[in-house]
Amino acid sequence: MENFILYNASQSTCSQRVRYALHAKKITFEDKKLDLFSGDQLAPEYLKINPNGVVPALVHRGESITDSAVILEYLEDIFPEVFPMRPKKPEIVARVRAMMRFVDEIPGPAIRIPSYNLAFLPHFQSMTEDEFQSLCDSKPLRREFLMKMGRTGFSEADMDESLARLKRGIVRMAEWLNYSKGPWLIGDQFTIADLAIMPVIIRMADINLGYIWDKLPVIEGWLSRIQSSENYNATFYHGSLLTEKYPHLANMKKV
């Protein structure tokens, strides 16, 4: 088996997509965990692997492949026969890719706002203003995002906007499932589009936003299929959910 190195983080939604795909394709990989709150992703040696200073990054044949959606496509390019997750017909591939772009445009970015406000914010609150500013300045991709959050968190208006975007994402996903008749987004085949949305739905369920699909049983059905699928437990091992790392969120869930 060839050598694959995956730089990732347990709770990183983008990393979860790629972990699932690697397990599905039975690819053994060296699992390099980065501690995103200690700044491992901003270390000079990692920036050579991913100049965006984010996870995941997959190193294979001496090349560094970055961006989770790109990595999913790459794995289909190199291992199309094992657990194929990209259809063959160009018009269906186009549909899958359009779904993935939509996810990365609307619900994907939106889930970060409640995730940061509910779970990650305390990591930044003990910093001085100067320390926080220099952390923001060191982030190639997320400088403005972090500055907007500040050390008091995203505003109520930002949270409302993000929930509205998540709702739009859920409604669109329900339309896809109703159109295809399931069980997966385009029908019988599980694809990289299902993988693209998977961590958003898992995160929403984890932080108690599942009420958003209360009236959309197709989403709940899709979620339970993913959760009972073969590669779920290897991907979401203990510590991958926010409630497993941040007990206060688990307590909130019980209320």
The residue whose two tokens read 């305390």 is: 122
Binding status of residue 103 toward ligand GSH by CB under 6 A: no
Dihedral, CA of residue 30, residue 191, residue 175 and residue 207, to nearest 10: -20
Contact string 217-236 vs ligand GSH (x = CB under 6 A): --------------------
Please identify the residue of the shown chain whose CB is closest to the bound ligand GSH. 54
Smallest distance, Å, CB 206 to ligand GSH?
A: 14
| Residue 242 interacting with ligand GSH (CB under 6 A) | no
Q: How far is the CB of 39 from ligand GSH (least distance, A)?
A: 8
Among the residue ranges 62-70, 161-169, 175-183, 202-210, the one whose residues contact ligand GSH (CB under 6 A)? 62-70
Q: Which of 67, 76, 194, 206 binds ligand GSH (CB under 6 A)?
A: 67
55 binds ligand GSH (CB under 6 A): yes
Q: How far is the CB of 78 from ligand GSH (least distance, A)?
A: 18
Question: 87 is written with which tokens?
Answer: 């259809």
How far is Cα 59 from Cα 48, in angstroms, rounded to an integer? 11
Rounded Cα–Cα distance for residues 30 and 84 (Å): 22
CA distances from 169 to 46, 71, 86, 106 (A): 32, 22, 21, 6
Q: Which is nearer to ligand GSH, 122 or 221 (CB)?
A: 122
Tokens describing residue 1: 């088996």
First-to-final CA distance of the chain: 48
Which residues are registered as beta bridge partners of 187?
184
List 25, 60, 86, 139, residue binding ligand GSH (CB under 6 A): 139
Among 27, 54, 119, 218, binds ligand GSH (CB under 6 A): 54
Tell me, residue by residue from 4 to 23, as one string, x for binding to ligand GSH by CB under 6 A and - for no binding. Answer: --------xxx---------
What is the CA angle 183-78-24, rounded to 5? 40
Classify the C-alpha dihedral 166-169-175-176 as positive or negative: negative
Q: Is 150 left (phi over 0), alpha (psi -120 to 50) or beta?
A: left
> Which of 142, 153, 202, 235 touches ligand GSH (CB under 6 A)?
142
Q: Of 115 and 218, which has the nearer Cβ to ligand GSH?
A: 115
**Cα separation of 118 and 58, whole Å?**
29
113 scored as a contact of ligand GSH (CB under 6 A): no
Q: How far is the CB of 104 from ligand GSH (least distance, A)?
A: 7
Residues of this chain that bind ligand GSH (CB under 6 A): 12-14, 36, 41, 53-56, 67-69, 139, 142
